[in-house]
């Protein structure tokens, strides 16, 4: 069982932004930049390109909405998108609020306190639930 399945099952805590029947988004515990978020399908599929088209497109739609919420809350130039999966073999989309290319390298990390994580997750959650319905 992956560490993300344990998070999905509530066995390990996370700074959750939102979830629906199929997906969950929570803050990365070792962020490249403030607001670095992971969008994860609840079904434990190791490799993103093993997903069927319908699930893959739904993951991207879900990630887009999380990105729209993130960019309202975290000052940045863009929300960078990455899929790596070398550390956790459970598909996830990294959404990273960036102003510099170095923030996409996974070499540079920012420290955040528990309080900062909680406050940020709550703000992005509020922005997410206030989004207009999908178009």
Residues involved in catalysis: 92
134 binds ligand 5GP (CB under 6 A): no
Which candidate, 133, 114, 124, places its Cα nearest to that of 16? 124
Q: Quick count: other Cβ atoms within 10 Å of Cβ 53?
A: 7
30 binds ligand 5GP (CB under 6 A): yes
Cα dist from 107 to 27, 30, 94, 110, whole Å:
17, 11, 14, 10
| Least separation in angstroms between CB 55 and ligand 5GP | 18
Binding characters for ligand 5GP, 79-98, by CB under 6 A (x = yes): -----xxxxx----------
61 binds ligand 5GP (CB under 6 A): no
Which candidate, 49, 60, 29, 36, places its Cα nearest to that of 134? 60
28 binds ligand 5GP (CB under 6 A): yes
Q: Enumerate residues 6+ apart whose C-beta is below 8 A from 25.
A: 16, 17, 18, 19, 37, 38, 39, 40, 62, 63, 66, 95, 128
**Which stretch in 28-36, 40-48, 49-57, 119-127 sits in contact with ligand 5GP by CB under 6 A?**
28-36
Of the two residues 16 and 130, which places its CB atom closer to ligand 5GP in the complex? Answer: 16
Q: Which residues bind ligand 5GP (CB under 6 A)?
A: 3, 12, 14, 26, 28-30, 38, 84-88
């Amino acid at each position: 069982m992956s560490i993300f399945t344990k998070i999905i099952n509530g066995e390990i805590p996370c700074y959750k932004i939102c979830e629906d029947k199929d997906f969950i988004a929570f803050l990365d515990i070792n962020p490249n930049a403030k607001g670095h978020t992971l969008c994860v399908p609840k079904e434990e599929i190791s490799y993103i390109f093993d997903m069927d088209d319908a699930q893959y497109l739904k993951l991207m739609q879900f990630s887009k909405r999380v990105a729209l919420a993130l960019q309202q809350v975290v000052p940045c130039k863009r929300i960078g998108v990455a899929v790596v999966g070398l550390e956790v073999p459970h598909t996830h989309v990294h959404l990273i609020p960036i102003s510099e290319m170095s923030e996409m390298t996974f070499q540079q990390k920012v420290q955040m306190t528990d309080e900062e994580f909680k406050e940020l997750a709550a703000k992005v959650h509020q922005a997410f639930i206030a989004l207009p319905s999908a178009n």
